[in-house]
């Protein structure tokens, strides 16, 4: 579905990612690594918020390296950033409706699915998004992404700042999205333990390079500690 070949990316003259090559299938594909490893840079590059300095990105076999970011939703790519991922002055329902502008299914049908997956959002649909808790805000951001009827969702550290209880709920929802909706997920995370519980494959970055790429079930803590320089 998504394939990167010898990708290099970064900020201005600073190159953060070096020679990144992998493909994403119908799966939860996790990206792990310590702070500064390049996880968010990778997702921002996939979302076309950062330019590709070298290499290529393909979607369903078509080269999208030069495709502008605003065309990605129509191609089935949804991006949920780590911060500022909801419109705080709009209600929950209005935020979701904005996501529903993409896709061919009716907004009502998609709203019903999102409210079924996230009952808290249904209870708060008239509430202003800026007044939600951190966990509810993340649910709303993911729900709005689902309203696009995506083939693949790019999730950038969705558990950041959440309580342990809400982290458990969040990862249960991520797993449910994959199983019930068949949506592929690229998940950049700091929480390695919870990520390994839901991921199919794991890419571990270290200083902007691939340290290892393995099936989640085959990874052990010794390998992760080496990548995290612990």
Kindly report, residue by residue over 124-134, the tens digit of the pLDDT: 999 999 999 88
Separation in Å, CA 64 to CA 46, 110, 118, 163? 10, 27, 32, 37
Kindly report, residue by residue over 152-206, the tens digit of the pLDDT: 999 999 988 888 888 898 899 999 999 988 899 999 998 888 999 999 999 999 9
Name, in order, each residue with C-beta under 8 angstroms of 83's C-beta and a sequence gap of 6 or more.
Answer: none
Proportion of the chain in helix, strand, coil states, percent, rounded to 5: 40, 30, 35
What is the rounded CA–CA span in Å between residue 223 and residue 141? Answer: 32
Separation in Å, CA 10 to CA 7, 21, 108, 118, 227? 10, 16, 40, 35, 21
The whole-number average pLDDT for the span 80-88 is: 87
Query: Please, what are the domains in the chain?
Result: 2-227 (3.40.50.300)
The whole-number average pLDDT for the span 71-99 is: 91
> Strand runs (DSSP E) across 146-229, as ranges?
152-156, 184-188, 201-206, 209-215
Per the structure block, which two tokens stand in for 38?
Answer: 């390049």
CA dihedral over 171, 175, 178, 180, signed as positive or negative: negative
Separation in Å, CA 81 to CA 11, 106, 197? 17, 25, 22
């Amino acid at each position: 579905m998504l394939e990167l070949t010898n990708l290099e990316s970064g900020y201005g003259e600073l190159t953060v990612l070096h020679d990144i090559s992998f493909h994403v299938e119908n799966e939860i594909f996790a990206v792990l690594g310590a702070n500064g490893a390049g996880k968010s840079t990778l997702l921002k590059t996939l979302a076309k918020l950062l330019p590709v300095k070298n290499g290529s990105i393909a979607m369903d076999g078509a080269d999208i390296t030069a495709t502008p970011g605003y065309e990605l939703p129509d191609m089935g790519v949804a991006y949920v950033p780590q911060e500022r991922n909801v419109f705080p002055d709009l209600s929950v329902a209005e935020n979701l409706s904005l996501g529903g502008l993409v896709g061919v299914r009716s907004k009502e049908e998609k709203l019903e699915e999102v409210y079924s997956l996230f009952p808290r959002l249904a209870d708060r649909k008239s509430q202003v998004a800026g007044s939600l808790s951190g966990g509810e805000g993340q649910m709303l951001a993911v729900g709005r992404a689902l309203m696009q009827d995506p083939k693949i969702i790019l999730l950038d550290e969705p558990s950041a700042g959440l309580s342990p209880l809400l982290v458990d709920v969040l990862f249960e929802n991520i797993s449910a999205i994959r199983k019930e909706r068949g949506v592929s997920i690229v998940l950049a995370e700091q929480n390695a333990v919870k990520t390994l519980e839901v991921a199919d494959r794991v890419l571990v970055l270290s200083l902007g390079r691939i340290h290892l790429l393995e099936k989640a079930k085959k990874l052990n803590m010794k390998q992760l500690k080496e990548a995290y320089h612990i």
